């Protein structure tokens, strides 16, 4: 760790300096590296200046070593301590035990000298230019260093609601963007206390003014539709998001002395926070947002506003066409090969892609029947059932508790996915892993259909770390005029858990049908790598 | 900008002529604030910065002199119209069509409420509705109203409101006066919404969110003159008419053969945004439906949707009758945390004042008076040994010594002579009650204000 910290010199400090000025939270490894580098530089300076105050250095070094131990438990307070650190160049420290190699030192010495010179130059530049100049040069060098050395990736979806410091940071960020903070509701089951749990009866618009001036009306409408479940389903949410962004771009005018490429991205940030507060963003939405931000920042500065806007609008149209509409066609084409006459296909919930495939297969005159499995509290299977029966497909409807009884009849299982994770796990509606498990037990092939834009670089092996908690009151049902769970909040030992997603391990999935072809679950990281290189 | 607010303040107050013959309804004092201050305050609290106020020249003049109106920090764009009373609310909207650039929120000046406005607007936003309105459970006014003889029968003016199972979608609206032989509901509505709840005890709050396309539609259809009376029932009916359910816009060319009003539904159909195919795509891919049990898609494929938010708790009054006015005077001050006694009022120490009472600015209340559950307006003089209970006293009134006033409404600039005993009376503006008068349950107005028969 120490050696890598020393030898990876330039890129590291660049990286860390940049992220410091951009105000992001540094990970533990980066901080340790930074500390070690600084210690090394100070040590070299001290050696050149004075060799006599060795004992003082030792004492101060001990103090600094105590600092990291104590501060490791409070990551958010570190940046505030680190920020003034580079400028004044305080505590001299010596790490004689750690860096004792003499030949390594000479190389390291040169590197340290170069680094020290660069830092001083940078400090003087900062004083002259101010903050405006910083983002522009730092955005460009971002691309090369990532190829040189693997940057430590931060988990943006790493929600930590039970950590008050993280909550405070979130509150501050929202305050800066003038977006109200949505408060959690009800008792949370302890295993999931790190996730948000909102109530549908307390929409975020309660705290917003009417008419909304901070947030574009199309985005407010979208947020409401998300939180009330009117737009649900990975594809629908992405399409609706892109549609709303089109409205935003149409109504956008560049303020004077600003560049469209930078200002528009900054305008979109509060909207994205708002949508995140209404309902946590899905992986497909995250990818769509990344694409749009990239497109916006790639607009050349000499481009006129009208031209730039029409270019962006056509980019969005193109994205939807390629990644959603054409991808659905391609997946349908591949899947139809897998559907043979006389098949009994089991589907779960309402996946827009699976419904599309089945309707296409039916139109191509394949003879099959469908078993729709449904589960509470969403009961989305009813909608899938309606769409399939409307086309004329013969369907059976069961609840998930009957899955093991109905599986002996089934020849194939088609599942939709919310996202495909980098380790091959499939993230989908809660209940999907159950169905995959039971299907595996019965030796029924499980095929997952997923477009490539839903592939995500996250890695997850269980459904606890990152999930979504829906309104617990949705679990309450009234039968024959009686609502048994009406006063569930008054029972201290009772918690209602309404999970939305779960992850299915790749051992239970036999094939993933994507627009790139039919791949095994373990090839997902390959697809991701190919995609990244393309972009 | 998302919504533009329009305040309709040109109404005459035809149901309480005794109060309004001198003071126009929007400026009637309720809790010592002009009536139109309440909806303006509601809009300001919610976050509006500009309001278009449609009113008469007289009201405009009074607005500029009233101190409370200066508290309103929003920008008021006042549009004056003629006072002859022929202009309905829809006509007024048509009049300001040029100013309307986006969806509009129409509020009536006589609405006093503390409803969370976002509930109505959320229905309007989330479902992309054409109309969203507010209704509340009708209140039974228990206070004795001066000049009322016997119990008033309210059965003639019932409104029948039909909502769907969720209680939000407005399916049917008709006034009893328009229904001759009975309530008839079209089969197409029953097929789409087999379960309908019909409510009669609801009062319309006259708060409407309308799409811009509706205002444009009004501009072409000059026959609609009242929002509540004609436009709203028309829109509710149009939700289920055959033309609005046709999925393709091209088909509308064939429907031009129908009546002229129906032909103009093209305007409402063309509400669609420029990215309609994308919106369609999102809806198709979404696994949500507003109803279940039949084979149709969300909203039954209809583009025109009307929603209503019904509140059963909380304050919501329309001050258009005398009873409502009295009730509002009692309850409206509770909405705001303001001192009951205005700092500039001079109240002598031996006055007994109940906590429910409100004293206006520059009042002078002498010794040994008792004021309970009453509202005293600005610049009023109350002399010694006066007992005021349950009354509303407007501005500039002089009450001489020894009077006993119970349950009365005394309009501005009236003079009550000494020793008068008034129970449940309404004293008109500028009237003079002779000393030692004893009146019970009378309406005392000037002879020139009496109706000509």
Mode of pairing for the β-strands spanning B111-113 and B316-318:
antiparallel
- Helices A352-363 and A327-338: angle between axes, nearest 10 degrees: 60
How much is the mean pLDDT over chain A? 82
CB within 8 Å of chain A, chain B residues 92-111: 105
pLDDT of residue A128: 63
Q: By C-alpha distance, which of A526, A518, A500 is closest to A423?
A: A526
**How far is C-alpha B453 from the chain's CA centre?**
30
Contact B287 A349 (CB under 8 A): yes
pLDDT of residue A4: 45
Chain A nearest CA to B222, separation (Å): 29
A167-176, B104-113, B263-272, B346-355: least confidently modelled range:
B263-272
Question: Which residue of A lies nearest to B116 if distances are taken between CA atoms?
Answer: A206
Contact B118 A225 (CB under 8 A): no
CA-to-CA distance for A349 and A381, rounded, in angstroms? 4
pLDDT tens digits, one per residue of B183-229: 888 898 999 999 999 999 888 999 999 999 999 999 888 888 888 88
Q: Which residue has the higher pLDDT, B282 or A53?
A: B282
pLDDT of residue B51: 92
pLDDT of residue B301: 84
- Span B16-32, average pLDDT: 82
pLDDT of residue A247: 92
- Span B289-316, average pLDDT: 88
Mode of pairing for the β-strands spanning B29-30 and B33-34:
antiparallel
Q: By C-alpha distance, which of B142, B129, B67, B132 is closest to B106?
A: B132
The tens-digit pLDDT sequence of chain A (535 residues) is 444 444 444 445 555 555 455 444 556 777 788 888 888 888 888 777 765 555 555 555 555 544 444 444 444 444 444 444 444 443 444 444 444 445 555 777 888 888 888 888 877 776 665 444 444 444 444 444 444 556 655 555 567 888 888 889 989 998 898 888 898 988 999 899 999 999 998 888 888 888 878 899 999 999 999 999 999 999 999 999 999 999 999 999 888 888 888 899 999 999 999 999 999 999 999 999 999 999 999 998 888 889 999 999 999 999 999 999 999 999 999 999 999 999 999 999 999 999 999 999 999 999 999 999 999 999 999 999 999 999 999 999 999 999 999 999 999 999 999 999 999 999 999 999 999 999 999 999 999 999 999 999 889 999 999 999 999 999 999 999 999 999 999 998 899 999 999 999 999 999 999 999 999 988 888 888 888 777 6
Contact A382 B127 (CB under 8 A): no
- Helices A260-278 and A164-176: angle between axes, nearest 10 degrees: 130
Residues of A with CB under 8 A from a CB of B: 203, 205-206, 208-213, 217, 220-221, 224-225, 228-233, 235-237, 239-240, 242-243, 246-247, 250, 320, 324-325, 349-350, 352, 380, 382-384, 386, 389-390
Residue B144: pLDDT over 70: yes
pLDDT tens digits, one per residue of B336-378: 777 777 778 788 777 888 777 888 888 888 888 888 888 888 8
- To which residue do tokens 């929600």 refer? A159
Contact B278 A242 (CB under 8 A): yes
Per-residue pLDDT band for B74 (boundaries 50, 70, 90) equals confident
CA-to-CA distance for A84 and B372, rounded, in angstroms? 66
From the list B117, B273, B281, the residue facing A210 with the nearest CB is B117
State the CB neighbour count (10 A cutoff) for residue A333. 14
Residue B115: pLDDT over 70: yes
The interface predicted TM-score (ipTM) is: 0.86
Chain A nearest CA to B147, separation (Å): 42
Chain B nearest CA to A323, separation (Å): 13
pLDDT of residue B184: 87
- Helices A260-278 and A283-297: angle between axes, nearest 10 degrees: 170
pLDDT of residue B447: 63
Q: Does B199 touch chain A (CB under 8 A)?
A: no
Q: By C-alpha distance, which of B299, B9, B18 is closest to B147?
A: B18
Residue B66: pLDDT over 60: yes
Percentage of residues in chain B having pLDDT higher than 90: 17
* A-B C-beta contacts closer than 8 Å: 106
């Amino acid at each position: 760790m120490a050696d890598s910290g020393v030898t990876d010199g330039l890129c590291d400090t660049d990286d860390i300096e940049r992220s410091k000025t951009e105000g992001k939270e540094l990970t533990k490894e980066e901080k340790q590296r930074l500390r070690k580098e600084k210690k090394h530089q100070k040590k070299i300076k001290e050696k050149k200046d004075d060799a006599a105050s060795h004992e003082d250095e030792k004492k101060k070094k001990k103090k600094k070593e105590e600092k990291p131990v104590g501060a490791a438990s409070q990551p958010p307070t570190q940046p505030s301590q680190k920020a003034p650190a580079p400028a004044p160049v305080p505590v001299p420290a010596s790490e004689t035990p750690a860096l004792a190699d003499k030949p390594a030192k000479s190389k390291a010495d040169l590197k340290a000298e170069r680094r020290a010179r660069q830092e001083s130059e940078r400090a003087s530049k900062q004083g002259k230019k101010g903050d405006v100049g910083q983002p522009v040069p730092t955005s460009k060098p971002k691309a090369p260093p990532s190829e040189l050395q693997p940057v430590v990736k931060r988990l943006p979806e790493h929600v930590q609601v039970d950590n008050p410091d993280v909550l405070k940071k979130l509150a501050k960020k929202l305050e800066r963007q003038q977006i109200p903070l949505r408060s959690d509701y009800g008792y949370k089951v302890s295993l999931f206390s790190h996730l948000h749990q909102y109530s549908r009866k307390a929409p975020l618009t309660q705290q917003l003014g009417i008419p909304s001036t901070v947030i574009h009306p199309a985005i407010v409408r979208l947020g409401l539709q998300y939180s009330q479940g009117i737009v649900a389903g990975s594809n629908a949410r992405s399409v609706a998001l892109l549609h709303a962004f089109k409205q935003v771009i149409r109504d956008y005018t560049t303020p004077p002395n600003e560049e469209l490429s930078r200002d528009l991205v900054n305008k979109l940030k509060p909207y994205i926070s708002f949508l995140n507060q209404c309902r946590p963003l899905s992986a497909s939405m995250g990818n769509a947002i990344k694409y749009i931000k990239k497109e916006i920042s790639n607009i050349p500065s000499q481009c006129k506003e009208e031209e730039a806007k029409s270019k962006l609008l056509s980019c969005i149209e193109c994205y939807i066409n390629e990644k959603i509409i054409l991808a659905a066609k391609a997946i349908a084409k591949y899947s139809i090969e897998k559907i043979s006459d006389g098949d009994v296909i089991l589907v779960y919930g309402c996946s827009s892609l699976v419904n599309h495939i089945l309707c296409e297969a039916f139109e191509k005159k394949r003879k099959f029947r469908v078993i729709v499995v449904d589960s509470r509290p969403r009961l989305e299977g009813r909608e899938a059932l309606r769409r399939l029966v409307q086309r004329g497909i013969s369907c059976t409807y069961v609840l998930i508790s009957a899955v093991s009884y109905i599986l002996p009849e089934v020849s194939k299982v088609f599942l939709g996915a919310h996202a495909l994770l980098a380790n091959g796990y499939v993230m989908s509606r809660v209940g999907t892993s159950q169905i995959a498990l039971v299907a595996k037990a019965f030796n029924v092939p499980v095929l997952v259909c997923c477009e490539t834009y839903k592939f995500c670089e996250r890695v997850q092996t269980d459904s606890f770390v990152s999930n979504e908690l829906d309104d617990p009151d949705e679990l309450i049902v009234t039968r024959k005029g009686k609502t048994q769970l009406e006063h569930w909040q008054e029972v201290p030992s009772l918690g209602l858990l309404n999970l939305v997603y779960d992850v299915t391990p790749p051992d239970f999935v036999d094939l993933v049908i994507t627009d790139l072809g039919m791949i095994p679950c373990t090839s997902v990281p390959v697809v991701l790598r190919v995609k990244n290189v393309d972009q | 900008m998302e919504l533009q607010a329009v305040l309709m303040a040109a109404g005459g107050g035809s149901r309480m002529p005794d109060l309004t013959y001198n003071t126009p309804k929007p400026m009637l004092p309720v809790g010592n604030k002009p009536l139109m201050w309440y909806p303006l305050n509601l809009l300001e609290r919610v976050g509006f910065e500009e309001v278009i106020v449609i009113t008469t020249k007289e009201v405009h003049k009074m607005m500029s002199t009233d101190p409370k109106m200066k508290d309103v920090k929003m920008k008021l764009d006042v549009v004056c119209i003629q006072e002859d009373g022929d202009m309905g609310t829809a006509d007024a909207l048509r009049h300001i069509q040029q100013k309307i650039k986006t969806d509009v929120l129409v509020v009536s000046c006589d609405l006093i409420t503390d409803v969370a406005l976002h509930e109505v607007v959320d229905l309007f936003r989330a479902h992309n509705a054409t109309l969203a309105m507010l209704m509340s459970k009708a209140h039974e006014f228990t206070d004795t109203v001066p000049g009322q003889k016997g119990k008033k029968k309210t059965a003639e003016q019932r409104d029948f409101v039909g909502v769907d199972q969720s209680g939000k979608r407005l399916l049917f609206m008709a006034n009893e006066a328009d229904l001759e032989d009975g309530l008839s509901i079209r089969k197409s509505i029953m097929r789409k919404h087999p379960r309908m709840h019909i409510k009669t005890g609801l009062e319309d709050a006259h708060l409407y969110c309308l799409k811009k396309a509706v205002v444009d539609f009004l501009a072409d259809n000059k026959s609609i003159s009242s929002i509540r009376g004609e436009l709203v029932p028309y829109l509710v009916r149009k939700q289920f008419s055959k033309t609005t359910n046709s999925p393709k816009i091209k088909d509308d060319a064939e429907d031009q053969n129908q009546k002229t009003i129906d032909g103009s539904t093209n305007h409402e159909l063309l509400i669609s945004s420029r990215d309609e195919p994308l919106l369609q795509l999102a809806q198709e891919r979404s696994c949500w439906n507003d109803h279940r049990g039949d084979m149709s898609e969300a909203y039954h494929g209809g583009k025109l949707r009307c929603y209503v938010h019904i509140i059963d708790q909380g304050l919501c009054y329309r001050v258009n009758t005398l009873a409502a006015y009295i009730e509002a005077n009692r309850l409206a001050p509770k909405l705001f945390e303001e001192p009951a006694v205005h700092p500039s009022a001079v109240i002598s120490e031996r006055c007994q004042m109940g906590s429910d009472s409100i004293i206006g600015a520059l009042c002078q209340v002498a010794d040994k008076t008792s004021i309970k559950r009453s509202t005293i307006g600005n610049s009023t003089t109350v002399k010694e040994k006066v007992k005021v209970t349950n009354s509303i006293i407007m501005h500039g009134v002089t009450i001489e010594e020894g009077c006993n006033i119970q349950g009365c409404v005394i309009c501005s600039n009236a003079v009550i002579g000494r020793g008068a005993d008034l129970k449940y009376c309404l004293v008109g503006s500028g009237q003079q009650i002779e000393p030692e008068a004893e009146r019970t349950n009378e309406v005392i107005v000037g002879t020139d204000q009496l109706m000509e028969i």
